[in-house]
Amino acid sequence: MTEKKICKNKIDAHAHAYRTDFPDKKLVYMPDPERLKEIYKDIGVSHALLLPLVAPERRAFFCPTEHVMEIAKSDPEAFSFAMALDPRMLHDGEKSDFSPLIEYYLSKGAKSVGEMQANIPFDSPLFDNLFSQIAKYKLPVTLHLSPAVGHEYGVVDAPGLPGLERALKKFPNIIFIGHSQSFWAHISEVRDRETMKGYPKGKVTPGRIRELMDNYPNLYCDLSAGSGFNALTRDEEYGLGFLSRYSDRLMFACDLCDATGALPPLAGWLDRQYLDGNLDETAYLNVCRNTAARVFSME
């Protein structure tokens, strides 16, 4: 019988790093690239997709595409990068032409778009304009969803995720990657916006995520942050079934924004479930690296 070995070359599909030495760590608290790599050694991550941050909502600093591009360029074995596109950028509103930006960043090696955080409604003409152009390039988009305008940051959707469903249907050439509390709350039933703001507990009654995953093959998910981990572990039996059912569209991710805290628990939990026989090897390796490697062309 072959001995099981944990995956030590995981891909973090949702990473952040900041190189500038900002004096107030309460404002700029993200890890620098070297600290991030130290953390990765402990949880078996060999490569990460760095996501820039440009939305102004509740942000004291910006991390533009050029910043993560330079980090990735300096250490391509450890990092790839995504491009930041906000639908409010440029100057022509719903007629803005994003193609020069997209083509420039692609020429520099960008793998995807995100993290999309603009705190405006999903069905805004500004998003339709941007997504219609992203679709021409068939780029994946990482979404941070929010329950309301003015609630922190993120693309605004309602309970039941009608805006996400509309986008999935209208832009089948885009892989939309769901993330955040407002997204992952929908692993179970959600009836109000308040539930979308937190980390609901208890047994899962299959919610909109499962329905959308079954109906739209262009919906993927990253399992990052407390929201993704909570979704899997609030009802572990359901979470393990969810992983097995959709492993080819689920991606290990950390969204580590504070380098001073505890290690992200997802890596150790996935490793234990595999070693204990609760997760088969195919699903385990899909989630740990194979799905991300395929989606972001990291092979």
CA distances to 31, 152, 263 from 38, rounded to whole Å, are: 10, 30, 11
Task: Report d(CA 203, CA 212) in Å as an integer.
Answer: 20
Q: What would the pLDDT profile of 15-40 be if each residue is shown by its tens digit?
A: 999 877 666 666 667 888 999 999 99
Domains of the chain: 10-295 (3.20.20.140)
Q: What is the dihedral of CA 269, 198, 140, 122, to 10 degrees?
A: 170
Q: Show the tokens assigned to 68.
A: 């993560």
Q: Supply the pTM of this predicted model.
A: 0.95
Q: What would the pLDDT profile of 245-280 be if each residue is shown by its tens digit?
A: 999 999 999 999 877 767 889 999 999 999 999 999
